[in-house]
């Protein structure tokens, strides 16, 4: 949202005021916070204090290494919902240490400090030790009033997208906005802001945080997260679940600006010093990713969306996958497991699934888990619609009638998850499905949330637009965890916002079946990883359209080297034999590779639950000091030691960047000395891609390639890569929770292993050591 016309002027219809000085500053009664009076003019004499708007800037610390800043014009508004900051400490006062001196004031929280000098110009400086991270300087704290006919490029006037409520309509726009600008240093790069499908580096972009069902090929996003981090060692979360507009060096090119409608803006600066440290603090504050079950890492096979299917079709798919030695772990039923026009009534369509309990039992006998599609809407034809409407379980219009529209399901209503009774009612239907044999739910939609409505708890509709998805997915995840137990619950969600990382897994939405869409899908996943999300998937082969065999095969390799892997399409199936025999071979090879890697991947997932470090890591996150890695959005690190570069071309040509050190080709054993970092152009057949292992790595590999959930210590292989003399500890944890630590020692080309700890105390056969790579001489 742009308020200015160049450096000197505001846009027509925009009136802007800025906090000009620190007129006074006080500590809170507890000595843990600061309150700053920032008038919109430098006060030269008493008369200047009259007829003058003032901005109040309050500073506190909800957690070590985090400083919250709240900018307020009028303080008399009602309290509105913010994000669930589950890691906040110290109560309302927080944990900061405030100090006011004759020259200014400082708030400290661990290694992070915020300091202000008295007088003008206004200057709020954030430091990590002696290092300046960013600052809020002159004309950076703004209050703006916008005329009804003002043109604000890049904005959603009134903090809503036209059509976000009803097609062709919008609510009256809010007349006032609060904005904040933070400095960008030379060479400083910005990442995050949710699952965004454009360039990974956000500099130069206008970003509107507003959940939308826009596919993967637009500027819209399903998962909007008002949090960014930079390569200077800090992150910033705007604590506002509604619309937040960002100008990332795109209005004031040396600053990041974020703005919200209304009278108050609250944001939190989060210390590093590394990007991984920032994500650690951010996910500690907003919610750690939940532990996901080992079975969820295996291959998911779907019916696809509008294809015709019944139990015979499903059985044929499962039989053929088994006959061709392509192990699957989860079978997914998309929307038409229910009868048309009735989504959701949570009832199997009896015309095609007359015996759902028997069918689910038969799938379980095949050692498969079952996932079914749901959404938070109730179609008017559903027998549940009138029940929900009469009970007050559906969102209402201001006149008290049920909000409805015909987009998606005819006459559908929207479940009001701010009503505890509505949530319990919805969960009750999910429990019934679980009792039938359903193991997981694909929680689709949750983005098109209207703003011209009334919520049961009185929440601001603008803030509920993005926050709704958290309530929806939390309701589903909680009932799964209640029935299945902690660590065995998993959703397959499309929409999210801040805190959504605690409710995995998420997938990338509706892509098309092209190499370009495959690349944009990866960019979205990497951007989401920079926003605190650890477990991510995508529709292998693309959703819309029928991929040609080359796209399908290359996407399959990429998909099976993602944390979670699913074949799913729109109007066509994604079973490998629908393409060619080579597609079958690609699926077999990469499925079995992933299953062999389960001890390694499962460990990476457990690390995510402890630290928030994602399983799939952007190069800028994994190698923060490497300028060559800073802009890369076509490859990633999988766990600590595997570098993956998907192939986005039919002829197999691919460019891959190898950071400093020696890297070993997983398939050939070739060792590449990357020096200080090197780009390579390679050509790959469909059964390989650039998959490199970091120097000195020890990769634990399972003894089975037919399932993801087994005893990883039985038949364990430790693949040892070339590296210098020394020891490395590898921890292997089984799905049952047994752990063992192995110390692998290299000396003069010899390798040995010692088991130093086992949670069960049991005696196991020592793991097999496999020296791999041709760099051992």
* CA dist., res. 371 & res. 369, Å (int): 7
Q: Are 35 and 105 in contact (CB under 8 A)?
A: no
How far, in Å, are 567, 670, 749 from residue 696 at the CA level? 34, 14, 12
Q: What are phi and psi of 328, to 5 degrees?
A: -120, 155
Phi then psi for residue 134, to 5 deg, are: -160, 170
Question: Torsion-angle region of residue 163: left (phi > 0), alpha (psi -120 to 50) or beta?
Answer: left
Structure tokens at 582: 């080579």
User: Which string of DSSP letters, residue by residue, matches 647-697?
Assistant: --STT-EEEEEEESSEEEETTT--EEE-TTEEEEEEE--TT---EEEETT-
Residues classed as catalytic: 444, 447, 510
Residue 437: CB atoms within 10 A of its CB come to 17
With b meaning 16 or more CB within 10 Å and e meaning fewer, what string describes 169-180? Answer: ebbebbeebbbb
Q: What are the b/e assignments for 195-224, b being 16+ CB within 10 Å? A: bbbbebbbbebbbbbbbbbebbbeebbbbb
Radius of gyration (C-alpha) of the chain in whole angstroms: 27
d(CA 389, CA 403) in angstroms, rounded, equals 10
Element (H, E) at 442: strand 440-443
> C-alpha 477: how far from its chain's center?
16
What is the phi/psi pair of residue 609, to 5°? -70, -20
Using CA atoms, how far apart are residues 361 and 605, in angstroms rounded to an integer? Answer: 29
């Amino acid at each position: 949202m742009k308020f200015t016309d160049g450096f000197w002027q505001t846009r027509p219809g925009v009136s802007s005021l800025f906090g000009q000085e620190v007129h006074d500053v006080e500590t809170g009664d507890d000595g843990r916070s600061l309150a700053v009076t920032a008038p919109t003019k430098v006060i030269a004499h008493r008369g200047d204090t009259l007829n003058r708007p003032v901005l109040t800037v309050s500073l506190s610390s909800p957690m070590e290494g985090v400083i919250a800043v709240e900018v307020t014009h009028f303080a008399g508004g009602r309290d509105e919902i913010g994000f669930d900051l589950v890691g906040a400490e110290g109560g309302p006062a927080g944990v900061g240490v405030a100090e006011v001196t004759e020259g200014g004031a400082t708030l400290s929280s661990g290694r992070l400090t915020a300091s202000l000098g008295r007088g003008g110009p206004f200057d709020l400086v954030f430091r990590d030790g002696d290092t300046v991270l960013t600052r809020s300087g002159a004309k950076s704290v703004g209050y703006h009033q916008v005329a009804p006919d003002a043109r604000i490029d890049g904005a959603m006037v009134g903090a809503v997208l036209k059509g976000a409520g009803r097609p062709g309509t919008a609510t009256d726009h809010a007349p006032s906005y609060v904005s904040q600008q933070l400095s960008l240093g030379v060479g400083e790069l910005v990442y995050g802001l949710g699952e965004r499908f454009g360039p990974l580096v956000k500099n130069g972009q206008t970003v509107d945080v507003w959940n939308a069902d826009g596919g993967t090929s637009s500027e819209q996003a399903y998962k909007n997260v008002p949090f960014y981090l930079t390569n200077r060692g800090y992150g910033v979360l705007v604590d506002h679940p509604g619309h937040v507009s960002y100008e990332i060096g795109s209005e004031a090119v040396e600053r990041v600006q974020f703005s919200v409608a209304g009278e108050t803006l609250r944001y939190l600066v989060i210390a590093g010093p590394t990007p991984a440290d920032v994500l650690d603090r951010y996910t500690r504050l907003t919610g750690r990713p939940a532990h996901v079950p080992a079975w969820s890492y295996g291959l998911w096979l779907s019916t696809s969306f509008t294809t015709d299917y019944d139990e015979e079709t499903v059985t044929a798919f499962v039989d053929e996958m088994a006959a061709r030695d392509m192990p699957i772990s989860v079978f997914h039923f998309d929307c038409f497991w229910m009868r048309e026009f009735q989504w959701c009534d949570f009832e199997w369509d009896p015309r095609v699934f007359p015996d759902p309990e028997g069918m689910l039992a038969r799938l379980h006998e095949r050692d498969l888990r079952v996932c079914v599609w749901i959404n938070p809407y109730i179609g008017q034809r559903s027998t549940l619609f009138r029940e929900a409407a009469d009970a007050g379980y559906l969102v209402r219009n201001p006149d008290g009638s049920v909000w409805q529209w015909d987009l998606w399901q005819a006459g559908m209503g929207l479940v009001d998850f701010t009503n505890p009774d509505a949530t319990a009612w919805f969960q009750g239907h999910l429990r019934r499905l679980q009792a039938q044999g359903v193991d997981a739910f694909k929680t689709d939609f949750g983005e098109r949330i209207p703003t011209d409505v009334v919520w049961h708890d009185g929440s601001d509709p603008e803030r509920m637009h993005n926050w709704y998805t958290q309530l929806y997915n939390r309701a589903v995840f909680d009932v799964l965890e209640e029935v299945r137990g902690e660590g065995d619950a998993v959703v397959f969600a499309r929409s999210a916002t801040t805190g959504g990382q605690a409710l995995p897994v998420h997938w990338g939405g509706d892509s098309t079946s092209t190499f370009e869409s495959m690349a944009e899908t990866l960019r979205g996943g990497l951007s989401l990883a920079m926003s605190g999300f650890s477990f991510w998937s995508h529709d292998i082969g693309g959703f819309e359209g029928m991929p040609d065999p080359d796209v399908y095969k290359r996407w399959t390799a990429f998909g099976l080297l993602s944390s979670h892997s699913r074949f799913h399409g729109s109007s066509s199936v994604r079973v490998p034999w629908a393409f060619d025999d080579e597609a079958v071979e690609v699926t077999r090879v990469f499925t079995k590779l992933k299953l062999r890697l389960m001890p390694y991947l499962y460990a990476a997932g457990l690390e995510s639950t402890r630290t928030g470090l994602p399983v799939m890591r952007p190069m800028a996150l994994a190698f923060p000091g490497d300028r060559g890695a800073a802009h890369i959005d076509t490859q990633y690190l999988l766990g600590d030691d595997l570098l993956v570069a998907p192939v986005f071309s039919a002829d197999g040509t691919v460019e891959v960047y190898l950071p400093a050190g020696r890297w070993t080709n997983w398939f050939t054993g070739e060792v590449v000395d990357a020096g200080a970092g090197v780009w390579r152009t390679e050509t790959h057949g469909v059964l390989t891609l650039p998959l490199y292992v970091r120097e000195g790595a020890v990769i634990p590999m399972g003894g089975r390639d037919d399932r993801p959930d087994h005893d990883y210590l039985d038949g364990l292989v430790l693949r040892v890569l070339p590296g210098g003399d020394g020891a490395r500890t590898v921890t292997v944890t089984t799905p049952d929770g047994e752990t063992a630590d192995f110390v692998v020692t290299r000396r003069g080309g010899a390798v040995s292993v010692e088991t130093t700890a086992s949670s069960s105390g049991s005696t196991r056969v020592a793991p097999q050591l496999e020296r791999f790579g041709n760099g051992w001489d």
